[in-house]
């Protein structure tokens, strides 16, 4: 499971071990590791999660927090000797929706830049479409946007993994 200098997409459920798996890919690459956190510390629960992630990764990672301008940060950071972990796309999507951005446009922008980086990028996201249809309209919209985003990113990525119970299943590449 060597990391290619092209986009890798890691999809999995909540607490599936998808971030750890993605971190392992980057650490094994020998490239300079950058952690791009898209989550905002809205509440204590989220702050605790971000802290746990930092603790697990240790000191050799550079951490950047960016809720919205994922494309801009990737263009600046994903250079020759670096590998960037984007954790995660569903939080980025949440932020875009909260900020009333146009999701199709943002998805298209991301997908367009993915193949252009000199460095490696690993994008992590939550699969959210395998439960009962949510009663809440916004939740239905969210899972529709997430599903379309995942299809677009998977199509643009060189490698795609589905992670369950900490175990990766290669879907592409």
If one asks whether residue 151 binds a second copy (CB under 8 A), the answer comes out as yes
If one asks whether residue 153 binds a second copy (CB under 8 A), the answer comes out as yes
If one asks whether residue 34 binds a second copy (CB under 8 A), the answer comes out as no
The catalytically annotated residue of 23, 53, 73, 156 is 53
CB 31 within 8 A of CB 81: yes
What does the alpha-carbon distance between residue 122 and residue 3 come to, in Å, rounded to a whole number?
Answer: 9
> Given the rule CB under 8 A, which of 61-69, 95-103, 110-118, 145-153 is the region that contacts a second copy?
145-153
Told to judge if 53 belongs to the known catalytic residues of this protein, a careful annotator would answer yes
Of 65, 74, 66, 77, whose CA–CA distance to 110 is shortest? 74
Q: Which of residues 79-138 bind a second copy (CB under 8 A)?
A: 127-136
Q: Exactly one of 17, 27, 40, 50 binds a second copy (CB under 8 A); which one?
A: 17
What does the alpha-carbon distance between residue 52 and residue 58 come to, in Å, rounded to a whole number?
Answer: 10
Beta strands (DSSP E) in the chain are 7-12, 32-37, 62-65, 82-87, 120-126, 159-164, 167-172
Q: Exactly one of 3, 9, 53, 85 binds a second copy (CB under 8 A); which one?
A: 9
Of 145, 80, 79, whose CA–CA distance to 108 is shortest? 145
- How many residues in the shown chain lie near a second copy by CB under 8 A? 40
Task: Report the catalytic residues.
Answer: 53
Residues making contact with a second copy (CB under 8 A): 9, 11, 13-17, 45, 127-136, 139-140, 142-144, 146-148, 150-151, 153-155, 160, 162, 164-167, 169, 171-172
């Amino acid at each position: 499971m060597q990391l290619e200098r092209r986009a890798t997409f890691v999809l999995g459920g909540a607490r599936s071990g998808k971030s750890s798996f993605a971190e392992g890919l980057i650490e094994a690459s020998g490239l300079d590791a950058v952690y791009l956190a898209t989550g905002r510390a809205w509440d204590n629960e989220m702050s605790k999660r971000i802290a746990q992630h930092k603790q697990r990764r240790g000191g050799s990672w550079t951490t950047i927090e960016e809720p919205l301008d994922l494309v801009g940060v990737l263009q600046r950071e994903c250079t020759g000797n670096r590998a960037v972990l984007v954790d995660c796309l569903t939080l980025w999507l949440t932020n875009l929706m909260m900020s009333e951005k146009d999701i199709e446009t943002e998805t298209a922008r991301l997908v367009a830049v993915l193949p252009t980086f000199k460095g490696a990028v690993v994008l992590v996201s939550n699969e959210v479409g395998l439960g009962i249809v949510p009663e809440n309209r916004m939740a239905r919209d969210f899972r529709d946007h997430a599903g379309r985003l995942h299809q677009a990113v998977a199509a643009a990525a060189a490698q795609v993994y589905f992670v369950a119970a900490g175990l990766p299943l290669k879907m592409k590449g």
